[in-house]
Amino acid sequence: MVVSRDNIGNLRGWYEGAKDANQAMLLGSHLDSVRDAGKYDGPLGVLVAIAAVRDLYNRGVRLPYAIEVVAFADEEGLRYGTTYLGSKALAGTFDAADLNRIDAAGVTMADAVRTFGGDPDRIAEDRWKGGDLVGYCEVHIEQGPVLEARGLPVGVVSGIAGQSRHQLTFTGEAAHAGTTPMDHRKDALVAASVFVQAVADYAESQAGLVATVGRLTVQPGAANVVPGEVILSLDVRHARDADRLHASKHLIDVAGKIAAQRGIALTTTQVSENGTVQCSPRLSSLMARAAEDLGHATIQLASGAGHDAVEMAGLTDITMLFVRCKGGISHNPAESVTEEDVAVAIDVLGKFLALLAADD
């Protein structure tokens, strides 16, 4: 492949097609990770794509379309709170205003880009310019328990649930832990804790809804000081956009009521939002056929996790193949896949590319 790095940090490998090829197929996933992550969420899809291209190369095969393998730079959004930075740049939906965001150390995204050698002013130039696309295919660890429970190495993804992320700041009053009577306190952490419980209670009561408070910052954060401020994250997901939007609004209202009851101020900001995305029935049925031709029964399953495929869906048809995951554990160092299942994924992807080449 001819390899380049674009200005947001995506690594892109181009494998030329046959002489008369006038289209391209994108394969990819992300290289970034979460804190205390596993090894496979993201990198697995990049490596499987490279392995499939290596196999084409070793056999001297050129397809009626070129392939670009993309190792996306920042999917998880940990550093700047914005998900899908790399795939947004490729899809042409990158918002230049995000370059002003600062990380926990006060470094702007623009400076972070400059530090690794990218040019923040040229990110718009990295949008897809390679001509007509056949589609985008992402292989990814399932990150859930379904394939393991069904005894299947791989599964075809039907769609990706939408997600909303918010930041909530509860501002009370820092005070002395020994001298401030309980009825004089404006304890931001107590209000935040009541909210965390309310989020779980509500999500447990609504079919298909998942809602998570994954990060709390407590100020001033001392054993002998009543907490004056808590900043927390709220992540809300549902396969139906209307249900997700309703739940987000409801939970923000609940936070407002809890804060008001305790004399605490609340501010909220929406950090990101993505609607539910469906995979292409045509590409997904080719993917299922690829698995079945190789002797593997498949199922269709929905993804509760977000993927770069969400952004790529704005550019072209998408399909995804999930790989069985031990115990359904992900975003955790215990994340695990077997060599045999990864071999199946490489073979299925190779077969899919061949079926796609023959499909008109």
- In whole angstroms, the minimum distance from the beta carbon of 133 to Mn ion comes to 21
* x-or-dash string of contact with Mn ion, 35-74, rule CB under 5 A: ------xx--------------------------------
Smallest distance, Å, CB 75 to ligand GLV? 7
Nearer to Mn ion, 56 or 78 (CB): 78
**Cα-Cα-Cα-Cα dihedral sign, residues 326, 296, 70, 72:** negative
Residues in CB range of 266: below 8 A, 6 or more apart: 168, 169, 170, 171, 255, 256, 259, 260
DSSP-assigned states of every residue in 38-56: -S-TTHHHHHHHHHHHHHH
24 vs 38: CA distance, rounded Å: 31
- Could you tell which of ligand GLV, Mn ion, none binds residue 42, using a CB distance below 5 to 8 A set by kind? Mn ion
Show the site string, 13-42: x = touches Mn ion by CB under 5 A, - = not.
----------------------------xx
**Residue 123 CA: distances (Å) to CA of 92, 113, 298, 311, 354:** 9, 10, 39, 16, 33
How far does CA 193 lie from the centroid of its chain? Answer: 27
φ, ψ of residue 285 to 5 degrees: the values are -75, -30
| Nearest-approach distance from CB 31 to Mn ion, in angstroms | 10
Residue 306 binds which one of ligand GLV, Mn ion, none, with CB within 5 to 8 A depending on kind?
Answer: ligand GLV
How many positions of this chain bind Mn ion (CB under 5 A)?
2
d(CA 41, CA 329): 11
- By CB under 6 A, name the one of 76, 243, 308, 335 that touches ligand GLV: 76
Choosing from 162, 227, 228, 306, the residue that interacts with ligand GLV (CB under 6 A) is 306
Using rule CB under 5 A, residue 308 touches Mn ion: no
Residue facing Mn ion at closest CB distance: 41
Q: Does 120 bind ligand GLV (CB under 6 A)?
A: no
Tokens linked to 59: 């056999």
Q: Which residues bind ligand GLV (CB under 6 A)?
A: 76, 305-306
